[in-house]
Structure 1
Amino acid sequence: MTTKVLVIDDSAVMRKLLTELINSNPDLEVVGAAPDAHVAREMIKTLNPDVLTLDVQMPRMDGLEFLERLMRLRPTRVVMVSAFTEAGSDTTLRALELGAIDFIGKPRVDSPAAMTEYAEELADKLRGAAAARLKRVVPAAATATRPAVPVSSAKTSGNGNLIFVGASTGGTEAIKDFLLGFPADCPPTLIVQHMPENFTASFAKRLDSLCAPRVIEAQGGERLEPGTVYVAPGHSHLQIRRQGGGYITELLATPPVNRHRPSVDVLFDSAAELIGKQAVGVILTGMGKDGAQGLLRMRQAGARTFGQDEASCVVYGMPREAALVGAVEEVSSLENMSRRVLASAARVVA
């Protein structure tokens, strides 16, 4: 079955390029290309596309305003196309909050190798978006302020346990919802979210403003402390290393694993090797299979392991792959995940 795509971009050159790249895949077809949101609105009514690619910066009505109206009036699967800048990353994170499924940067036209890689990534993201569940969008006011700190217990952070989390498509909002259930003194928590390097710092800042624990982008060499969440930077793998009587973060600029850097498998493998039964592993919504083998190795080393259930996933890919290989000990909805994980972490013993 062919996925119908509508390209929305104010640049005629970009519309032509994206159309050519998308149409090079037999299972994807560009059914229309719109220069602005007003034209796009009419084309959506007549063409009924499965997925939109949406530029952030457009005349007459910008991408965010159009997206907010679209998701309120006619929820549609959207992949944002954004410049990889700090301002672009903040806008893209807001778009994901408004209901966009995924995002991708603008293509680099100066490198044939980069263009080939981009074409593959774009096709993957469109396929993932086409298979994604449309989620109810929570009004912006509901997430505008930091919530009251959840009730906690010394048991959640006082016995040396650590929590390891991996996610991809749909993960930015899933991780936010997951961490909103964490107390300020939660166990040290490490997160890999598939995301380009210019986006992870903004992602960590956004989480830090919304959640009770401190959330930072890992720089490498930070000592793991209760009450802190460490987000892998987009340019490096994240793992842990022993130092003295504790553990520190370590960044690796080694090649991608499962086509990703950072890779969930790299983080989970370090947990399996160094932490074993003192670890809790969590795999959330995402496309592909990154993290499945690493979570299995964590479980084999004695860790408690969790997978998000299909009903609450935007894309039930990574959790499904992990379940298929026997890596998932307990399946949980996103709504209950933080409570179940914290309860499990409190029971972890040395």
Structure 2
Amino acid sequence: MKKISVIVPCFNEQESIKIYYDAMTKMKEEANKFELEYWFVDDGSSDKTFAILKDLQHEHSDEVHYISFSRNFGKESALYAGITEAKGDYVAVMDVDLQDPPEMMPEMFDILEEGEYDSVGSARMDRKGENPITSFFSNAFYGLINKISQTKIVPGARDYRLMTQQMVTAIRSMTEYNRFSKGIFSWVGFRTKYLPYKNRERVAGTTSWNFWKLFKYAITGIIDFTERPLAIATWLGSFFSLTSIITIIVVLIRKIINHMSSVDGWASMIIIILLIGGIQLLCIGILGEYIGKIFLEVKHRPIYIVKDKK
């Protein structure tokens, strides 16, 4: 019987862990198609998450493993840590809050067993129950990145997926410090099929994600998988440089021909200065984001630091 390694990032999820494990155990027994091994990754939690994981591993040492970070490194680091350790025939990535339906896993397994696909992902059909503002910007992000990047991401795609070891090996080889898993899953290629499902609420606890964290995550995705913002900054700079030269020529000609007072056109000149200044700051900001990412990469710091593992 084939084994599935399940990677489960956890950050302050003390209420969800046992509920998740029970739901997965029930699913496995009903399916009776595969074995499961769990790699729970404690991402520097400040509650009882680590203690619960230790107890769970002690009770089910044959299938439950854990990795505990020295501090909070983020979900992307937790995913990479799990991918590094997972040795099963197939590898799954799931959230512990059960927003990723366990009952989809047998279908994912069957699809991979047919051999046509290397990965089976999940995509939400709707965003029912989600903050409307978050939903709007999320949809806008997918629309934007798919227009400006060659790496296409399915709208509503979740990290929840089942992959072959061949695909996981490819992902494991990508050791960049700034990580955006949705983009990485797509960039490595391999044939992927997406299964739609309806949005679900968390079973317990509260999410650690907020609007600004999601916004920063989206910026990381854009910077990691397209250089188009740099091209846009170049185009804007070129356009306004040309516009400035034309404006200077027009102003000089009007001054020579009409002998206009220096006070005339003051308001329009201020507007132009503010506009060009704003565009310059925007372009500098875009450049700064890329330089900042390069700065973090060239340090070659570890993606995560393990405090305990079993």
TM-score (norm 2): 0.30
Q: Where is the strand percentage greater, Structure 1 or Structure 2?
A: 1
Q: Where is the helix percentage greater, Structure 1 or Structure 2?
A: 2
TM-score (norm 1): 0.27
Greater relative contact order (Cα < 8 A, sep 6+)? 2
Q: Which has the larger radius of gyration?
A: 2
